[in-house]
Amino acid sequence: MKEFKGRVVTPGTCTAEAVVTHQGFNTLASLQKALQFGDKTAKVNDQNNPDLFGKPIAGKALCLPQTIGSTTGGLVLYCACKMERNPRCMLFGNRIDSLACAGAVLASVWSDAEMPVIDELGDGFLDYVKDGMKITIKEDGTVIVE
């Protein structure tokens, strides 16, 4: 077990199973099929991300360095929350980018989804966490990995 301390972007607490990528998460490419064709498990459709391709992320603790892609990223994240196809939480090793931040904040204000987002967890976080590990988030931005 190891603890990491990050910055709270959107508040909340949760426990979820980790799914990890070491490269940028393209929000649109990853979630487009889930949003258009009703995949409630939100299997990642981005073939350029071998860490996540084909893996379901709905209800999981998505551990990532940052998001990448177009300006639609924030809206896609908000829509995933509104349609209940979102990760349970998002945990960024780096500082969150403005588009993902906008989507997370909009989702926390305009939807019933609670999707805690913590950033600035550091490179050691992504080096330590592996798929399937249990992640617990506390209100103060502490992330416990078991």
Separation CA 91–CA 134 (nearest Å):
13
Instruction: Look at the domain 2-145 and name its fold.
Output: Glucose Oxidase; domain 1 (3.50.30)
Q: Kindly report the backbone phi and psi dihedral angles of residue 113, in degrees, each rounded to the nearest multiple of 5, phi listed first.
A: -70, 135
> Mean pLDDT for each 10-residue chunk of the chain (146 residues)?
98 97 96 92 96 98 94 92 96 96 94 94 96 98 98
| pTM for the whole structure | 0.96
Question: What dihedral angle (degrees, nearest 10) is formed by the CA atoms of 116, 24, 110, 82?
Answer: -100
Q: What is the pLDDT of residue 71?
A: 86
Q: Kindly report the backbone phi and psi dihedral angles of residue 49, in degrees, each rounded to the nearest multiple of 5, phi listed first.
A: -120, 85
H helices of 12-122, where?
A: 27-37, 73-82, 98-110
Residues 8 and 129: beta-carbon distance below 8 Å: no
Q: What is the pLDDT of residue 113?
A: 87
